[in-house]
Amino acid sequence: MIVLGLEGTAHTISCGIIDEDRILSMESSMYRPKTGGIRPLDAAVHHSDVVDSVIWRALEKAKLSIRDIDLIAFSMGPGLAPSLRVTATAARTLSALTGKPILGVNHPLGHIEIGRRVTGAVDPVMLYVSGGNTQVIAHVNGRYRVLGETLDIGIGNMIDKFAREAGIPFPGGPEVEKMAQKGTRLLDLPYSVKGMDTAFSGILTAAMQYLKAGNAIEDISYSLQETAFSMIVEVLERALYVSGKDEILMAGGVALNRRLREMVTEMADEVGVRAYLTDKEYCMDNGIMIAQAALLMYRSGFRMHIEETAVNPRFRIDEVDVPWIADSVRKDYGKAGAESRIEEVDFHGRPAIRKVRIPKNYRNQHLDSKIRYDRMRNEFTMLRKIKDAGIKAPIVYDFDPFSFSITMQRIPGRMMSAELSEGKTEYMHDLGAAVAKLHSTGLAHGDLTVNNIMVNEGIYLIDPSMGKVSAEIEDMAVDIYALEDSVKGLGLDPSIVLKPMISAYISDFKNAGDVLETVGAIRRRHRYV
C-alpha cells in the first residue's frame, strides 16, 4: 500500500510518501515570518500558495503519479486552525479527484509512529517537545496516554518568545542553543515541576527580566536550557517508573537540541533503559509521519468518510484508539524513584525506610544540589504539617541534610496505583475526605498522584516534597489535576473512578467549587494539546 501524507499543523506544509517497506519521498516548505512569531493566517496563506508544488515535487521524487497512491492522509489536529483547514482541503480534493480513501491523523500520533518506525522502538515512553507541545506519552490499555504535560506554554514557544525579545528571528531555538554553549553562569530561574506536569511561563518571565537588566544573553540562554530541560527530563524519568516501560523515544522540533539529547541519553544510561532519538529530519513536522500513522490506522480497520474529516485544533492523542501495539511486560524498578532511592532499615527497633535523594548527573551540579536539598527539607516540613492536620502520613524519625536523607516510619500497604489496577476503589470516599482536610488547612501536596497515595486501613499521603504550606486555589487545583491525570495514565476514566472522592471533597471543603473550576481552567488554557 502506498500512502501520501500531508502535514500542516503550524509553520510547515509537508508531503510524504511511503509504502510498507520504504520511505519514498518527502518535500516541505516552512513559513518564516520576517518579524515576530507565527501569524496563523499568514501561515495558512503560505501553505495555500505552495501546497500544490510540495505535493507534485514529492510525487516526482517518488516517481509516482497521483493515481498510484492508495491512501490520502492529513494532519487533523492539534494545531493552528487556519493551517489545518488548508491541509485538510488539499487532502479532500485529492481524495475526491482520485476516489482514494482518506484518513485524518492525530499530529502527536504521527511523531510517535515515525519515531518507532525509524528507530526500532517498540513500546516506549515518548518525550514530545515542540513549539506548542510538551508532553510525556505512553501506551496503556489500547491508547497512548498523556502522563505529563505543560500547564501553560510549550517549551518551544517559551524559547522562541525569549529569542524574539532578544531580537532573534523565528525560529529562535537554534540560535539560543548556540548562545547557550557559550554561557558559563547559571542564573536562578523558577524550576516548576508539579507532579508529572511542568510550567514554563515563569522561566520566560524571569529570563526576560535578566535580559532587561543587562545580563549576558549567553548566560541567560544557558540557564534557560539547563533549567527547562532538567524539568522535562525529570518528568520523563518519573514516567518510566509510573508506566513500567523500558524504552524512551524523543521527537518534536526541540528534540533537535544537542544538549537535551545529551541529557536524555545520560538519564537513560543511569536508569538502565534504551533511549531512541528520532532521526533529525523526522523530528520536525513532516508528511512522512502522517503517512506512517495512517498506514497503521488503515491496516487496523480505520475508515473515514469525507464528512468525518473536519479538523480539530484541540485533538488529544488519548482520544485515538491504538490497537496495533501490545503493552510490553512492566519493568520492575524495585524501590527506585526519579529523585530518590528507598532502603528498608531498623530505627531503634521500629521498622523504617531511609529515603536518600541521589544526585542526577544530567543536571547542572549546582542546580541539582539545590533541588535535592530544597525538596528534602520541604518533605520534612510537609510531613509534619500533614500529621498535625490529622491526616495519615509517615512519622519522620531522622533528617540528615548532609547525606540528603530522611528516615521515616515504614507504612505497610499498597500504592493506590496497584489497587486501582485491580479494580479496588472502596477507599475513594476516605481519599476525598483526606484531600479536603489537607486543603482546608491551607496545604497542597504538590505531587498528588496514584503513586504517592498508600492504602492501608485508610489513606496515607506520602512524598509531599513539592508541596505548599500556604497554598492558593491554583496549587490545590494542581493537586486534583495531577490525581485525575495519573488515573488516566492507568487507562481508567477519572470521572468514574474518582466520583466518590470528588463527592466527599465537595462535601468537606467549602472552597471545593473554586478549586474544581480552576482545574477546568488549567485544562482549557493549553494552546495545543
Phi-psi label, residue 180: left if phi above 0, alpha if psi -120 to 50, beta otherwise = alpha
Q: Per-residue DSSP letters for 155-208?
A: HHHHHHHHHHHTTPPSS-HHHHHHHHTT----------EETTEE--HHHHHHHH
Give the C-alpha separation, 270 to 266, whole Å. Answer: 6
For the chain, give me the number of helices (H) and strands (E)? 17, 19
- Cβ within 8 Å of residue 157, ≥6 positions away: 131, 132, 527
Give the C-alpha separation, 220 to 127, whole Å. Answer: 24
In angstroms, the Cα distances linking 211 to 181, 188, 219, 282, 310 are 17, 13, 10, 33, 43
Other CB atoms within 10 Å distance of the CB of residue 452: 23
Strands 247-251 and 125-129: parallel
List active site positions: 447
Reported as type and span, the H/E element at residue 290 is helix 287-299
Contact call for residues 207 and 220 (beta carbons, < 8 A): yes
Q: Per-residue DSSP letters for 43-88?
A: HHHHHHHHHHHHHHHHHHHHT--GGG-SEEEEEEESS-HHHHHHHH
Other CB atoms within 10 Å distance of the CB of residue 211: 17
Residue from 272, 173, 186 nearest 223 by CA: 186
Q: Would you state the cell numbers that stand for residue 99, as one nine-digit string?
A: 476516489
Evaluate the CA torsion angle 155, 515, 513, 438 in order and state its sign: positive
Residue type, 318: D
- Cβ within 8 Å of residue 146, ≥6 positions away: 135, 136, 137, 316, 317, 318, 485, 488, 489
Residue from 284, 239, 244, 254 nearest 148 by CA: 239
Give the C-alpha separation, 171 to 156, whole Å. Answer: 9
Q: For the chain, how long is the longest CA-to-CA vector?
A: 80
CA angle 427, 431, 433 (to 5 degrees): 120
Contact call for residues 240 and 88 (beta carbons, < 8 A): no
Give the C-alpha separation, 153 to 132, whole Å. Answer: 7
